[in-house]
Amino acid sequence: MKILSYLSLSLCLAMAMLIAGVPDNAHAFPEKSVKLTVGFGPGGPSGIAARFMQKRFTAITGQKLIIINKPGAGGAKAWSQITNDKKNGYELTLLNFPHTVLQPIARGKNAGYSYDDIQPVLFYTSVPQVIAVRKESPYKTFSDLLKAINAKPGAITIAGTGIGGSNHSAFYKLNKVGNLKAAYVPFKDTSSTIGALKSGVTDAAWTFTTQGVKDGDSIRLLAIASEKRMPLFPDLPTLTELGYPVVDVASWSIGVPPGTPSEIRKKVSKTFQKVVSDPTVKADMDKGGYLPILIPYPESELEKKKLGEGYGAVGLALAKKK
C-alpha cells in the first residue's frame, strides 16, 4: 500500500510540475501576424483609426498587424468578403457603423453581405459627424448655408462618402428635420469627399471631426451632429443647439467572420482591448478627433443589435430614394 501511495503521490507531483511548467502564454493570441481589412482608403478616418492600433500592436503583442485597404461601394467591397475569411482570429475586418447596417438595406443584394454576417468583437472608438465647407466659401456659418439651400432648392451640393453610409444618413436626417432640399453627391471614400470639397466640386460636405483636425487649414466646420460640444472643438455648435436635433456618430469595431468560435472571439477582443487601452494609442486618438469607447465581446453583440434597430428605418428611407 505504501508503494502504491508513493507512486500515486509521485504521479500527482509529476503532473503538477508538468502543468506548472506550461507557460501562461502557451495558447496566447496572437502567435503570428494578424490581417485587418479596412473598407476605405488609408487617409480617411477608418484608415487612420486602424493605423493607431498598428503603431503599437507589435510592441504590445509581439506580432505584426497587417492592414489591407479595400475601398469601394461605401465599405461593402471589403465586408462582402468577410464570409471567406478564416475563422481563426488572424483574418479580421474593421467594421464601420452605421455603414454596415445601412448598406444591405440601401443596396440590397448588391451589398454582397447581410447584417447577420457582421460580427463585432470590440467597439473601440467613435467620431461625430460634421458639416463643412472650404475655407474660401462664402458660407461662414451654418445659418449662411441654410439660407443658400432654401434660396436655391436642389442646387446646393453636399458631398459624402458613398450611398447608404454614415454621411448619407446624416444628410438624410438633416434634410428631413429641416425640410431642406440639398443635393447629395457620393464619393468612394473620405479623402475623395474632402478633395471634392476643397476643389470646389461641391458646396459643402458631410464628414467627420477627424477631418477637422487633419484638414483644418483648408476647411471650415459649421456644425457637429453630436449630443454636446466636443472639447477638441469648443466653439463648434451642435445641430441641436441650432434648432436641428440631428445626432449621428460613426463608430468602429474589430470584426471576425461569422461562425468564429466564441473562445477565439474572446481572445481577439481581449488582445485588441490591450492595444486600444495603451496610453499612446489613446492619446493619438484623442488628438485625432476620435472619442474613446470600449464595448468588448459578448456585449458587442448587444451594441450591434441596438445599432441595427436604430438605423434600420434610415436605411429603408435611403433605399426608397434610390
Please provide the DSSP assignment of 109-173 as one string: GGGSS-GGG-EEEEEEEEEEEEEEEETT-S--SHHHHHHHHHHSTTTSEEEEESSSSHHHHHHHH
- In this prediction, residue 4 has a pLDDT band, given cuts at 50, 70 and 90, of very low
Contact 206, 212 (CB under 8 A): no
When comparing pLDDT for 124 and 72, which is higher? Answer: 124
CB atoms within 10 A of CB 24: 6
Q: What are phi and psi of 307, to 5 degrees?
A: -65, -40
pLDDT at 9 over 70: no
The candidate with the shortest Cα–Cα distance to 189, out of 173, 165, 171, is 165
Parallel, antiparallel, or unpaired: how do β-strands 119-134 and 249-256 relate?
A: antiparallel
| Least confidently predicted of 56-65, 79-88, 187-196, 270-279 | 187-196
pLDDT grade for 321, boundaries at 50, 70 and 90: low
Q: What confidence tens digit (pLDDT) does each residue in 214-268 have? A: 899 999 999 999 999 999 999 999 999 999 999 999 999 999 999 999 999 999 9
Which H or E run contains 182?
A: none
Contact 106, 164 (CB under 8 A): yes
Element (H, E) at 7: helix 2-21
CATH code at 128-224: 3.40.190.10
* pLDDT surpasses 50 at 92: yes
Locate the domains of the chain by residue range.
34-126+250-320, 128-224
Give me the CATH topology for the region 34-126+250-320.
Answer: D-Maltodextrin-Binding Protein; domain 2 (3.40.190)
pLDDT for res 253: 98
d(CA 270, CA 121): 9
DSSP-derived secondary structure letter, 237: -
